[in-house]
Amino acid sequence: QFPYQPFGDLLLEFPGHKNAGRYRRQLDLDSGVTTVSYRVGDVTFRREVFASVPDQVIVVRIAADKPGQVSFTAKLDSPHPNGSTTAVGSDQLALRGRLARFEYKRIKQVFESVLGFEARLLVSADGGKTKVTDEGVDIEGADAATLVLAAATSYKSFQDVSGDPAARCDEVIRVAADKPYGRLREAHVADHRRLFRRVDLDLGSTEASRLPTDERIPGFAEGNDPQLAVLYFQFGRYLLMASSRPGSQPANLQGIWNEDLQPAWESKWTVNINTEMNYWPAEVGNLAECHGPLFDMLDDVVISGRKTAQVHYGCRGWVLHHNTDLWRGTAPINHSNHGIWPTGGAWLCRHLWEHYLFSGDEEFLARRAYPVIKEAALFFVDFLVEDPETGWLISGPSNSPEQGGLVMGPTMDHQIIRDLFASAIEASETLGVDEDFRRQLVELRKRIAPNQIGRHGQLQEWLEDKDDPNNHHRHLSHLYGLYPSDQIALGTTAELAAAARKSLDFRGDGPVGWGRAWQVCLYARLGDGQLAYDRLARLIGDNSNLNLFNQCWASRPMPFQIDANFGGAAGIAEMLVGSHAGEIALLPAWPQEAWPTGHVQGLRARGGLEVDLAWRNGRATSAVLKAGLDGPCRVRPPKGHRISAVRCGGEALPATVEQDGTAILEFQAGKVYELEFDEAFAKSPRVSRHALPD
Ligand code: FUC
């Protein structure tokens, strides 16, 4: 498989600015604009940069607070050896080339490259002199200048590289050239806010939030900076918006932000946890359209994965192993202890199903989700074999990702296949199709090896009871059943949930960033706010392990790997709202001491709901549920609370409140439900260690 590589660099040089002072660099999450400002002598310079989805360009604006002060050179450069720059007319610079043969040193292979590329930089200055030559752009004595960058390759799809990058750049630049900077910025900010402002989270803020981000990170674990958790959450949403929009590739191991020709793990899509984790915040974080590129990639791997299913296994359907790339590789890869793992595609099918669970969109289910899910299920109909000892159907040869060697019957495979079959069964029923196939899946599903509890009281990772309680491996594969799946849940399978907890506790606090992020989600599902918060604190601010770089990029600890940014964001959401195993849980894993007062608006829950919550001094004060679909659902209040009244359209609803304080509500699409709580069950109020201002 081929690495994801950087395109090139835009290099700006400002003569005389070496001794700048009052330097400040910021990213405003609410507008999606990054700003650099500094002073040279008595002039303040300000640079704004944003990447615009509506105009498909990167825009740089350079300005000064005194006239005629903007002078700089701009060059385009590429790490690909076959690139060169040429002036295009009086206001554009082009960087053109073809990818060279690529020597992949680590695995000693040479790839022939097939892609051509072109980038175009459009320059416009207010006043001063502008000169564009083949070497670059020279601006002298302007009041301000705008640079607009477009870039394209000849890639159209994994089967078609006949694209014309020059024509694509022309078209994009022509449209952008007609718009002054202000209009480009407005269009970008409007597009950005349309998505970003859907969720508002406030966990309170303290003096610490006035400090620069790099100074806040190491102190997070000590407490007293709840706003940094909000920043982590919203930065995660921002990163997903910035790396995965309709029409783009999905976010890879580094999102899109890789600067190396030979990046770590080729900056691909590793699908035994990393790619899935990237998309955990998509639905709950109210960014469902950002999930789209993953579904587009699934359509491709169905095509390449059919061949792999045939050639490697003589099976029908499609299969995707450990990872994939731009060319949609699906075959076994690397080494047998991780590369021969046939359930990567099946896990990704869960994302199609989740999109349906959150939205209830039957059109999507019929057209996009079910066909992919069905064919993935077909593969396992052929692939599963009967275990001669137990008679159960098992998966193999396979592995529990990245440890334990090539085995038969790892637990994670069975959990994933059980979910896959369940979604195929339910979808075919909802859509009223494929009755015979459904019946076959129902029968096979019953025979798949079950989740087993082993001699240490643990959830067995393997078919045999051979787990080592001292195994601190980074992967938490068999806990897939607890999160992201709800096959194991406190309310429905209490004994398995207790066993899963044991396995999770055995693993320790997790040696890598994404592992900690997963643990936040897992402890949240177990209703343990304290440990969920502990893992979040270690993820954000554990100086010993450095899971976060200065600017909030997640670190594995090395190198930068984006999954933990997304997994941590999903974990924070999961602590605030749960929607699985047949109920909506409000503040299910609430660290009351760390976050005594706050509110959240706009989180989405399965079943077409949008959730707003507020709490104060350790007590939930209100919950508002906006229903997008009809149907009943149990609502679970925060621990120690009891639902006391439900109002809809100003009128009290007769809701039956059960012994445990939960209530079943009959939702109607388009209606808004307001919940009140009483504190009959409330323990003595818990007040934060750190006094928070109102
Ligand atoms: C998985 C992990 C590694 C790394 C790689 C990109 O295979 O086991 O730790 O994150 O993906």
Minimum-distance ligand 1 atom for the alpha carbon of 514? 10
The predicted model scores a pTM of 0.96
Minimum-distance ligand 1 atom for the alpha carbon of 556? 10
Tell me which residues have their CB closer than 6 angstroms to ligand 1.
253, 265, 270, 272, 274, 402, 474, 512, 556, 561
Minimum-distance ligand 1 atom for the alpha carbon of 322? 7
Going 285 to 287 to 288 to 294, the CA torsion angle's sign is negative
Write down the pLDDT at residue 678: 87
Tell me the two tokens of residue 654.
Answer: 């007769």
Distances (CA, A) of 529 to 33, 261, 533, 612: 34, 42, 6, 19
Minimum-distance ligand 1 atom for the alpha carbon of 253? 6
Task: Report how far ligand 1's centroid is from the alpha carbon of 473 (Å).
Answer: 12
Task: Report how far ligand 1's centroid is from the alpha carbon of 196 (Å).
Answer: 29
Minimum-distance ligand 1 atom for the alpha carbon of 273? 1
Task: Report how far ligand 1's centroid is from the alpha carbon of 233 (Å).
Answer: 22
pLDDT digits (tens, 9 = 90+) for 376-420: 999 999 999 999 999 999 999 999 999 999 999 999 999 999 999
Tell me the two tokens of residue 357.
Answer: 């669970």
Task: Report how far ligand 1's centroid is from the alpha carbon of 474 (Å).
Answer: 9
Q: Are 77 and 8 in contact (CB under 8 A)?
A: yes
Residues 6+ apart with CB under 8 A from 400: 407, 410, 411, 412, 461, 462, 475, 477, 478
At 591 the three-state DSSP class reads coil
Tell me the two tokens of residue 106.
Answer: 């680590």
Of 514, 516, 555, the residue with max ligand 1 atoms within 8 A of its CB, to mutate for a pocket test, comes to 514
Q: Which of 608, 624, 601, 618 is nearest to 675 (CA)?
A: 624
Of 258, 265, 566, the residue with max ligand 1 atoms within 8 A of its CB, to mutate for a pocket test, comes to 265
Write down the pLDDT at residue 35: 98
Q: Are 384 and 441 in contact (CB under 8 A)?
A: no
Write down the pLDDT at residue 684: 42
Q: Which residues of the chain have pLDDT under 70?
A: 543-546, 680-694
Task: Report how far ligand 1's centroid is from the alpha carbon of 276 (Å).
Answer: 12
Give the integer Cα–Cα distance in Å for 114 and 665: 57
Task: Report how far ligand 1's centroid is from the alpha carbon of 556 (Å).
Answer: 9
Task: Report how far ligand 1's centroid is from the alpha carbon of 515 (Å).
Answer: 10
Task: Report how far ligand 1's centroid is from the alpha carbon of 564 (Å).
Answer: 12
Which strand ranges, in their side-by-side order, compose the sheet holding 609-616? Answer: 200-202, 598-605, 609-616, 619-627, 672-678, 642-648, 651-653
Average pLDDT, the chain: 95
Nearest CA to ligand 1 atom 6: 265
